[in-house]
């Protein structure tokens, strides 16, 4: 793509012209793929995910592209590098969560809890459990997350929560029960476990 074509594409991007977007993709898709692959290695599925995320992000910000700040490739690859970094951060987070889950699952703690048993106090106080709890809370609806945080992390009483939310204590207890169930179901994905002593594989739904 020569400078004249680049200026035309840049103008089209700022005007939301779909032809400009197609031209950008056709001109740089292979180059983005090669550049991402150099940083990420041979995993085609991971590379494809990052390339897709790069172009989605570029499409969302195309109208704000400023040619005075550099050529199209510089702008596009800055987005690509950012998404490579995000991928590694996500992978690191997944690895940390898996390690935390493995540490707790080693003695069957998670399995017993997910089947309805009590979670030992030492497990609740562990760094591994804290990491998994925080990760799970972020996946719940905001009202469930807030309720569980208030009750179990900030140690608020049902009475205090009810007064603040202008609900009856019965209503708060009912909602807490639903929130705990939602939490347990969300948490279970970190803890597919195997009851080796019985030779039985369990899934989070108890099947």
Strands in the chain per DSSP E: 193-195, 200-202
Instruction: Indicate if the pLDDT at residue 17 is higher than 50.
Output: yes
Q: What share of the chain in percent tops pLDDT 90? A: 27
What pLDDT shows up at residue 175?
A: 93
In terms of domains, do 76 and 121 share one? no
Asked if the structure places residue 103 within a domain, the reply is: no
Residue 194's pLDDT band, with cuts at 50, 70 and 90, is very low
Q: Are 29 and 55 in contact (CB under 8 A)?
A: yes
Per-residue pLDDT tens digits for 170-180: 999 999 999 98
What pLDDT shows up at residue 120?
A: 57
Asked if the structure places residue 27 within a domain, the reply is: yes
The parent domain of residue 155 ranges over 108-202
Strands in 15-146 per DSSP E: none
Domain at 44, CATH number: 1.10.1740.10
**pTM confidence score:** 0.54
> Domain boundary residue among 48, 65, 95?
95
Asked if the structure places residue 87 within a domain, the reply is: yes
Most confident of 38-47, 79-88, 187-196: 79-88
Asked if the structure places residue 77 within a domain, the reply is: yes
Asked if the structure places residue 102 within a domain, the reply is: no
Segment 44-64 mean pLDDT: 90
Report the run of H or E that residue 48 belongs to, with start and end. Answer: helix 44-61
The total number of structural domains that make up the chain: 2
């Amino acid at each position: 793509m020569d400078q004249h074509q680049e200026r035309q594409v840049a103008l089209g991007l700022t005007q939301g012209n779909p032809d400009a977007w197609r031209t950008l993709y056709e001109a740089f898709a292979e180059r983005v793929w090669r550049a991402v692959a150099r940083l990420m290695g041979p995993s085609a599925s991971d590379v494809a995910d990052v390339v897709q995320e790069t172009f989605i992000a570029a499409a969302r910000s195309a109208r704000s592209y400023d040619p005075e700040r550099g050529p199209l490739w510089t702008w596009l690859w800055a987005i690509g590098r950012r998404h490579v970094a995000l991928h590694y951060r996500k992978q690191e987070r997944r690895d940390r969560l898996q390690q935390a889950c493995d540490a707790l699952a080693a003695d069957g703690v998670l399995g017993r809890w997910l089947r309805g048993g009590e979670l030992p106090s030492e497990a609740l106080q562990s760094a591994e459990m804290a990491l998994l709890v925080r990760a799970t809370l972020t996946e719940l609806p905001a009202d469930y997350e807030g309720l569980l945080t208030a009750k179990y992390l900030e140690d608020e009483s049902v009475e205090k929560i009810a007064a603040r939310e202008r609900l009856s204590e019965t209503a708060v207890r009912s909602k807490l029960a639903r929130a705990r169930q939602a939490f347990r179901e969300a948490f279970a994905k970190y803890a597919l476990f195997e009851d080796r002593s019985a030779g039985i594989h369990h899934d989070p739904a108890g099947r």
